[in-house]
Every structure is written in structure tokens, then in C-alpha cells.
Copies of this chain bind each other. A is one copy, B any other.
Amino acid sequence: MAGIKDVAKKANVGVGTVSRMLNNSGYVAEETRKKIEIAMKELNYIPNELARNLYHKRTGIIAVLVPNVVNPFFTKFIDCVEAELYERGFKMMLCNTEKEHNAELEYLDMLNRHIVDGVITGVHSLDVEEYKKIHKPIVALDRYLGEHIPVVAVDHKDGGRLAAETLIHNGCKRILHFTGSTTVESPYHERHYEFERIMNENHIKTFKYELRWNRFDLEYYREVVKMVFAEKINFDGVFAVDALAIECMNETIRSHRKVPRDVKFVAYDGTFITEIVEPKMTAIVQPVEKLAKESVRLLYNLLCGKEYKDKKILLGVEIRKGNTTIV
């Protein structure tokens, strides 16, 4: 409860002197320092960050927007971003936009209301127009939000290529291919275009299913798997995001077909869940930690007012061979 004025009075100095001492700025005589120190201790003084923030117009808080927290890709992203922000003295405000569709707007508005200093958004929902209005530090994860907002993503085209080539080398002829929703503009579509292109080139049949926008939960993936299996398609290869690939594999196993003998799987993302299933999944691995680091780095540059030439950062992907493919 004690404020800087109380400290100043108790120590018989001016408020300016106390402030200078607290911030180690300007001159304060050693003797005065001690007097103030004693006064602070006696009054149990703790600076009120709110008042500081008001003056400096910054809070040291970054909002991170994700469509879903539970999806391991986003979980890991959040985890890494938090660590990276912490390193640079920032705190992370986390926002899950899945349930409340107006949450994204609300969190963006926080930029204007000076509650957060910047935003990292991995959300794939809002109209791009909303972002155009805002000229504050924003970085996008895997999403195009207009010219002025830098994007961090992986080389999805290469990811699509790796997946396609792997399934081809494994001799797959009839492939289930689950793509993201095309209602949002995002770099990730590249992997599906490239995948299809290569499959076409090689005259391999694919069965393409477009997933619904903004659903990343297990329940939905189960629905999709049930639906697809009901069609009794004869397939020998699957390309899908981690959790969906896994659900698909489990259903395959439950239908008494062997993996990888009868069906090969390549998962996209390569989060930890692809490593805890048996057989371990072959996966295209996104370097989530690097994505997080780059996102924070870019945002930090924006915050410091540095010029960023990096409007788009593209990181490499790798394939991690598991036992859902043979070669």
C-alpha cells in the first residue's frame, strides 16, 4: 500500500530521488541510497508496475492466439513461445479462440487498449481485413494476414513432396489424403497442392477429404475416420495430420489389417503423439521450436521498431522415419 511518496517522506528526500534510485538512473549519493533503502524496507515498499506501465505505455505482455490449445502442435508452440518470451523479459497471455469466435477480435483490441504490447497469432479464422486496420506489432504463424504482417511458416511444399515421395517409394497406389480447409488463406495448403501434383504426375489415385475449418479435436477426427471407413474405400496409404493419421491407423488395425504391411501412413506435424503409438509413425516433422523462436524474434524486432526485411520466414521440414512405412 505504501507508495513512492511515503518512502520519500520517510527518508526525507524527494520523490524524484527515490525514483532515480529505483531505476538506477541519474545521480544518487551513497548516503541517500542507504536512507531510502531503510525507508523502503520499513514500509515494505513494492513498486506498482501499473503506474510504471501507464507512463511507459507498455506492459511487457504478449498475447498468443491459437485456435486450440490441446492439439500437440499448438501446445508445443505455446510452450516454446512462452520460454522464448520469458528469456526476453516478456510474459505470455494465452488465448484459445476455438470456443468464442469473437475472442480473436477482443484480443486484437487489447493491442489498442494498451493491455498487450504485441500479438502472435496462429489463428485461422478472422477476416484478414481486421488485421489490416492494425498497425501494431503482430506476427502470424502459418497464415497470410496482409502485406504488412510478417509470417513464420515451414516449407510446406517440401513437406508435401517428402510425404508424396515416401508413399510412392512404399508402393502405395490408392491414397487417403486429408487436407486443411481451403476457406482460409494459409501457407499450409502448399503441402496438399504439391502432394496432389506429384501423385497426379505418377498416376496414383488419391481420395481427397477436406477437413472442416477450425476443428483440431479428437472427436472431430474420429467422426471423419468413421465417415471415411463407412465408404469402404480400398486404400493402401494415408497422408494426414498427426492425430487424424493415428485415429486412422487405429481403425485400420481394428479392421484387422496390418500396418505397415497393408497400409502405410505418413503423418504431418510429427508431434510427440506420433512417437508414442505402436507402430511409431513416419512423420513430416515441423520444427516447432524454431517456429516459436522465429516468431518471437520477429515480434521482438517489431517491438524495437527495427526494420524487418523478413516478411516471410520459411523453415525446413524433415521426415522422421517410423514403422508405418517400410522404405
Chain A interface (Cβ within 8 Å of chain B)? 46-51, 53-54, 57, 59, 61, 69-70, 72, 75-76, 78-79, 82-83, 86, 91-96, 99-100, 103, 110, 112-115, 218, 243, 246-247, 249-250, 253-254, 272-273, 275-278
Contacts and interface: CB of A to CB of B under 8 A. Distances in A.
Number of copies of chain A assembled together:
2
Contact of A272 (B51, B54, B70, B99): B70
A82 to B, nearest CB: 5
B82 A218 contact: no
B277 A276 contact: yes
Nearest to A60: B115
Contacts of A93: 61, 91-94
Contacts of A276: 218, 243, 246-247, 250, 273, 277
Contacts of A57: 50
A290 to B, nearest CB: 16
Given A47-B113, A48-B114, A96 B83 contact: yes
A82 B54 contact: no
A277 B51 CA distance: 52
Contacts of A47: 113
A46 to B, nearest CB: 5
Contacts of A100: 86
A61 to B, nearest CB: 7
Contacts of A86: 95, 99-100, 103
A15 B112 CA distance: 21
Given A49-B113, A50-B57, A113-B47, A278 B275 contact: no
Given A59-B50, A94-B82, A253 B278 contact: yes
A245 to B, nearest CB: 10
Contacts of A218: 272, 275-276
A59 B49 CA distance: 11
A91 B92 CA distance: 11
Contacts of A275: 218
